[in-house]
């Protein structure tokens, strides 16, 4: 068991080194499937994006699959994000324990936007023809509590993007660990996300008929445009979290994450959550080394639905600088 744990830690640290080295160069705009960087959990957003060591239940499937390892009940989660430029991002997930097989979960996230008018070089103001675009990811996760302090989880997922009739698809994996140090509530977590195949668009719009000389005696030439492939936004994240307990009714959760993304370099998140009677929560956070994102605020409340379970409802507001702000709503049901 010890050898296995050491292997997991070394594998994630190796990934961290690789991503950190690539971040030494200006790689902005070189990764595909950028929607995978967006947060889905209003609780996470309210804490500045810190997530590695704090997410639990079905919400953790998106961030760190090790977060479902110690679940004893079923968990259902949903979120809605009102993003910029009429873009919405929705998330739905379910996780449950299965005897002898660890804990399992499935999740799907869907990004949608309003249709856009097609423009061309000949008609830059629009042709009157409309087209749409969307992106989605579907994942299946499995997690195990290997010791009373150490948990491990892995997610396999399929990523799909569509613009007009052009599509791309790729397969990726997420790996996460969570370790309770034994010092009170201090825990350490690591996650590696979006390790997989490159994205590459294809479709009938890349096929065309070329007639350069308009000569009726010359046959048109069938041509097909080729698109470049792009890697996924591989991310390594390291996080710590600790609970400051004031009394039986109130405590303050502090979380700090540092992370490297293939195309954005080193960034960080710091967040705080004050909770009263494990029901009412008020949150604040800040993202470090970002171009536009910064301060975030949020809150939530857990309702005890008699005879059914616990319903948690959360809201978060985040400042996006020149892009104004974004609102997120999320809900989770433990039953």
* Domains parsed from the chain with CATH numbers: 2-334 (2.40.160.40)
Which of 37-41, 207-211, 262-266 holds the top average pLDDT?
37-41
pLDDT at 13: 52
pLDDT at 23: 46
Which comes out higher in pLDDT, residue 263 or 168? 168
Q: Exposed e or buried b for every residue in 105-114, given b needs 16+ CB within 10 A?
A: bbbbbbbeee
3-state secondary structure the chain: CHHHHHHHHHHHHHHHHHHHHHCCCCCCCCCCCHHHHCCCCHHHHHCCCCCCCCCCHHHHHHHCHHHHCCCCCCEEEEEEEECCCCCEEEEEEEEEEECCCEEEEEEEEEEECCCEECCCCCCCCCCCCEECEEEEEEEEEEEEECCCCEEEEEEEEEEEEEECCEEEEEEEEEEEEEEECCCCCCEEEEEEEEEECCECCECHHHEEEECCCCCCCCCCEEEECCCCCECCCCEEEEEEEEEEECCCCEEEEEEEEEEEECCCEEEEEEEEEEEECCCEEEEEEEEECCCCCCEEEEEEEEEEECCCEEEEEEEEEEECHHHCEEEEEEEEEEC
pLDDT on residue 165: 86
pTM of the model: 0.84
How crowded is residue 19: how many other Cβ atoms within 10 Å of its Cβ?
22
Instruction: With a cut of 50, say whether residue 160 has pLDDT above it.
Output: yes
Arithmetic mean of pLDDT over the chain: 88
Q: Where do we find the tokens 């080194």?
A: 17
pLDDT higher than 50, residue 129 = yes
Top-confidence residue, 265 or 180? 180
Most confident range, picked from 19-23, 216-220, 249-253, 290-294 = 249-253
For residues 114-128, give the mean pLDDT: 84
- d(Cα 263, Cα 274) in Å, to the nearest integer? 34
The answer to whether the beta carbons of residues 88 and 80 sit under 8 Å apart is: yes
Q: Which of 47-61, 177-191, 205-219, 285-299 has the lowest mean pLDDT?
A: 205-219
- Residue 11: is its pLDDT beyond 80? no
CA pair distance 307, 237, nearest whole angstrom: 38
């Amino acid at each position: 068991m010890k050898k296995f744990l050491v292997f997991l830690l070394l594998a994630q640290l190796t990934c961290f080194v690789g991503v950190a080295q690539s971040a030494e160069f200006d790689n902005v705009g070189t990764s595909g499937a950028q929607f995978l960087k967006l947060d889905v959990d209003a609780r996470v957003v309210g804490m500045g994006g810190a997530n590695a060591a704090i997410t639990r239940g079905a919400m953790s499937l998106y961030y760190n699959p090790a977060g479902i390892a110690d679940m004893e009940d079923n968990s259902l989660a949903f979120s809605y994000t009102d993003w910029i430029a009429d873009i919405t991002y929705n998330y739905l997930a379910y996780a449950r324990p299965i005897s002898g097989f660890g804990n399992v979960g499935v999740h799907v996230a869907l990004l949608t936007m309003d249709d856009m008018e097609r423009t061309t070089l000949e008609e830059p103001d629009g042709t009157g023809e409309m087209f749409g675009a969307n992106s989605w990811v579907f994942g299946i996760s499995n997690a195990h509590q290997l010791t009373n302090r150490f948990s491990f989880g892995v997610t396999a997922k399929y990523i799909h993007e569509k613009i007009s009739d052009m599509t791309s698809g790729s397969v990726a994996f997420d790996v996460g660990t969570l370790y309770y140090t034994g010092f009170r509530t201090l825990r350490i977590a690591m996650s590696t996300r979006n390790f997989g195949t490159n994205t590459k668009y294809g479709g009938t719009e890349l096929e065309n008929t070329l007639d350069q000389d308009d000569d009726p005696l010359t046959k048109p030439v069938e041509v097909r445009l080729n698109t470049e492939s792009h890697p996924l936004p591989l991310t390594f994240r390291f996080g710590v979290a600790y609970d400051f307990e004031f009394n039986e009714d109130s405590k303050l959760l502090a979380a700090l994450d540092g992370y490297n993304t293939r195309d954005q370099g080193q960034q960080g998140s710091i967040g705080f959550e004050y909770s009263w009677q494990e029901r009412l929560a008020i949150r604040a956070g800040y993202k470090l080394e970002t171009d536009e994102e910064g301060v975030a605020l949020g809150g939530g409340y857990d309702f005890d639905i008699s005879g059914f379970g616990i319903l948690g409802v959360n809201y978060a507001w985040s400042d996006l600088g020149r892009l104004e702000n974004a609102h997120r709503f999320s809900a989770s049901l433990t039953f």
